Amino acid sequence: MKTKIKILGTGCPKCITLMKLTTEVVNENNFEAEISKVEDIVQIMNYGVVSTPALVVNEKVVISGRLPSKDEIKKQIENQING
């Protein structure tokens, strides 16, 4: 089953960087994941996120309001995959 990853952000530089880093992490670790970007403010607010960028893995907000390191992104994805 593919892991669903969403980047929540309205297109700010940090949001763009989070998308880039997350894509790199998925590719480097051969995660079977589908990455999408959510830019609609109403959808973002539906996740309870007030500060972007945010990283959502399998519908769970794992990081919000800051730009994480690639290592942290990897750990959060692994945590969600391995339950």
- Per residue of the chain (83 residues), give pLDDT as tens: 799 999 999 989 999 999 999 999 999 999 999 999 999 999 999 999 999 999 999 999 999 999 999 999 999 999 998 87
Query: Among 75, 43, 72, which Cα is nearest to 59's?
Result: 43
**Domains present along the chain, CATH in parentheses:** 3-82 (3.40.30.10)
Alpha helices by DSSP H, listed for the chain, are 13-28, 41-46, 70-82
Query: Are 55 and 62 in contact, with CB atoms under 8 Å apart?
Result: yes
Catalytic residue among 12, 41, 45, 50: 12
Catalytic residue flag (residue 12): yes
Catalytic residue flag (residue 37): no
